[in-house]
């Protein structure tokens, strides 16, 4: 018999009527996008279960953690070091949302023409529809874009917010600033949790989070095979779940899936038709349940082999050096790892261009699709640099601008199909 989570949701302040709207949208969308795939790995059953219990079992685990004196800290960006939160006994939860819920409430405090991701997370909080948000003792913002930076000032009216000053360049003085920001963040986390971080707890946390990254890297490596043993949609889902699932359990289940995928590779089993175009997706992050573009791309006969996204390679491609002898060295290693993320907030951001070119070769990609959310200035503008570099390298590119609505799905499908026909 299914567990009734409504009393739990009500106890943490969820608007049950508004929350029901999300629960009415998610299952049919998930069923259409994911459960109708053919030749799907059996190991995806766990991740289907996680989505089925997205506002149930995991929220119950968070409430039990809080009841035992633990804290839950929400984040909106891959620049926030999960290692520091875990070292203080906290649970780190990704809060970005990919659906238009609470827009009316969000527009009472935000401009109408603003990035859908910002409007969505603000709407989730104001409409009280997200159990993860309502479970957070503090949320952590960052200055990767002007819209988020100013929105966090407003969000602080509703939940404690700590903002990390994210450098926009990578000079030595920027590295010094970033290290001091991490030290301030560590002090704030210790204050919230009441737990003093030490060298032992930080070292352990670094290894645990690195373990999660390494298993995602193992999954990414398997996608270099042709045919690919798993769909891009399934991999995006796994990468999205990585941001809120229990770290040790998640790492174990992805490893089990990779064992199965290795067998499929040996047997030559793939998820796409022979000769299907191999596509890399890049641009702004795709938060749950923003599966529109991957569904269109793979529904048009292609296979996505890599995501150069924050909900993708940028989240896990680099690990933290584990040889730090003391706290200062470990914080320095954490800072160095996170400053290596190729976010469009950086100027210049040549590393991203070089990464896209190398990924196209490594994954034997036939083309790249650049997806920008409407009003996301950093990525929409940086698409110019991406286009220039890829054109020089002879790598086909399709640039797409969209939002969380479904109204443009037909137009996008037509453009994607034309692009795939061209690269065929």
Answer whether residue 327 is part of any domain: no
Given 159, 192, 225, which residue is the final one in a domain? Answer: 192
The residue among 140, 171, 192 that closes a domain is 192
Scored b (16 or more CB within 10 A) or e, 286-303 reads bbbbbbbbbbbbbbbbbb
Q: Classify residue 70: in a domain, yes or no.
A: yes
Enumerate the β-bridge partners of residue 199.
Answer: none
Whether 154 is in a domain gets the answer yes
Is residue 236 domain-resident?
yes
- C-alpha 227/C-alpha 36 separation (Å) is 20
Q: What is the pLDDT of residue 1?
A: 63
**73 & 95 share domain:** yes
Q: Same domain for 132 and 249?
A: no
As for how many domains the chain has, the answer is 2
- Give the chain's residues under pLDDT 70: 1
What pLDDT does 340 receive? Answer: 96
Q: Do 85 and 214 sit in the same domain of this protein?
A: no
Considering the domain architecture, whether residues 243 and 183 belong to the same structural domain is answered as no
| Same domain (yes/no): 66, 213 | no
Is residue 349 located within the same domain as residue 411?
yes
Q: Same structural domain for residues 289 and 174?
A: no
Q: Are residues 122 and 235 in the same domain?
A: no
Residue 326 lies in a domain: no
Residue numbers of the domain that contains 118: 6-192
pLDDT tens per residue, range 229-279 = 999 999 999 999 999 999 999 999 999 999 999 999 999 999 998 889 999
In a domain, 333, yes or no: no
Q: In sequence order, what DSSP letters do the residues of 230-242 get, joined into one string?
A: S-HHHHHHHHHHT
Domain shared by 138 and 262, yes or no:
no
Query: Of 185, 294, 201, 279, whose CA–CA distance to 239 is shortest?
Result: 294
Q: What is the CATH number of the domain that holds 212?
A: 3.40.50.11900
Bridge-partner residues for 399, per DSSP?
370
- Name the pairing type of β-strands 161-164 and 278-283: unpaired
Do 347 and 224 fall into the same domain?
Answer: yes
Regarding whether 295 and 169 lie in a shared domain, the answer is no
Q: Two tokens at 154?
A: 């407003």
Q: How far apart are CA 249 and CA 155, in angstroms?
A: 32
What span, in angstroms and rounded, lies between the C-alpha atoms of 253 and 47? 9
Residue 335 within a domain: no
Q: Please indicate, yes or no, whether residues 245 and 142 belong to a single structural domain of this protein.
A: no
Final residue in a domain of this structure, among 141, 161, 192: 192
Asked if residue 338 belongs to a domain, the reply is no
What CATH number is attached to the domain comprising 46? 3.40.50.11890
| 3-state helix, strand and coil shares in percent for the chain, rounded to the nearest 5 | 55, 10, 35
The whole-angstrom separation of Cα 202 and Cα 186 is 11
Q: What pLDDT shows up at residue 399?
A: 98
In whole angstroms, give the CA distance from residue 280 to residue 357. Answer: 11
């Amino acid at each position: 018999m299914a567990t009734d989570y409504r009393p739990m949701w009500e106890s943490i302040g969820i608007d049950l009527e508004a929350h029901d709207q999300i629960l009415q949208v998610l299952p049919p969308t998930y069923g259409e996008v994911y459960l109708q795939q053919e030749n799907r790995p059996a190991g995806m059953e766990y991740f289907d279960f996680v989505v089925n219990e997205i506002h149930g079992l995991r929220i119950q685990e968070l409430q039990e953690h809080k009841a035992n004196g633990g804290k839950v800290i929400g984040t909106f960006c891959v620049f926030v070091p999960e290692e520091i939160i875990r070292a203080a006994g906290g649970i780190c939860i990704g809060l970005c949302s990919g659906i238009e819920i609470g827009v009316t409430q969000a527009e009472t405090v935000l401009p109408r023409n603003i990035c859908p991701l910002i409007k969505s997370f603000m709407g989730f909080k104001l409409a009280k529809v997200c159990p993860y948000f309502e479970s957070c003792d503090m949320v952590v913002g960052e200055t990767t874009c002007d819209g988020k930076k100013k929105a966090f000032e407003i969000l602080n009216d509703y939940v404690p917010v700590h903002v990390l000053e994210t450098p926009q360049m990578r000079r030595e003085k920027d590295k010094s600033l970033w290290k001091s920001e991490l030290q301030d963040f560590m002090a704030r986390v210790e204050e919230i949790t009441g737990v003093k971080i030490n060298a032992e707890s930080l070292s352990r946390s670094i290894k645990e989070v690195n373990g999660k990254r390494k298993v995602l890297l193992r999954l990414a490596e398997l996608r270099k095979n042709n045919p690919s043993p798993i769909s891009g949609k399934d991999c995006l889902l796994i990468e999205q779940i990585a941001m809120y699932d229990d770290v040790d359990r998640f790492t174990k289940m992805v490893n089990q899936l990779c064992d199965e995928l290795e067998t499929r590779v040996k047997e030559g089993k793939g998820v796409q038709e022979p000769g299907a175009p191999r596509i890399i997706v890049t641009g702004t992050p795709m938060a749950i349940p923003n599966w529109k573009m991957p569904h269109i791309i793979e529904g048009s006969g292609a296979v996505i082999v890599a995501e150069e996204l924050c909900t993708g390679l940028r989240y896990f491609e680099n690990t933290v050096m584990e040889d730090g002898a003391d706290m200062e060295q470990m914080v320095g290693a954490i800072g160095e790892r996170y400053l290596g993320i190729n976010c469009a907030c950086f100027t210049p951001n040549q590393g991203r261009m070089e990464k896209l070119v190398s990924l196209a070769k490594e994954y034997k990609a036939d083309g790249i699709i650049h997806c920008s959310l409407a009003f996301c200035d950093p990525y929409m503008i940086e698409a110019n640099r991406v286009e220039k570099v890829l054109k020089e390298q002879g790598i086909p590119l399709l640039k797409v601008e969209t939002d969380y609505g479904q109204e443009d799905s037909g137009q996008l499908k037509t453009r994607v199909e034309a692009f795939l026909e061209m690269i065929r």
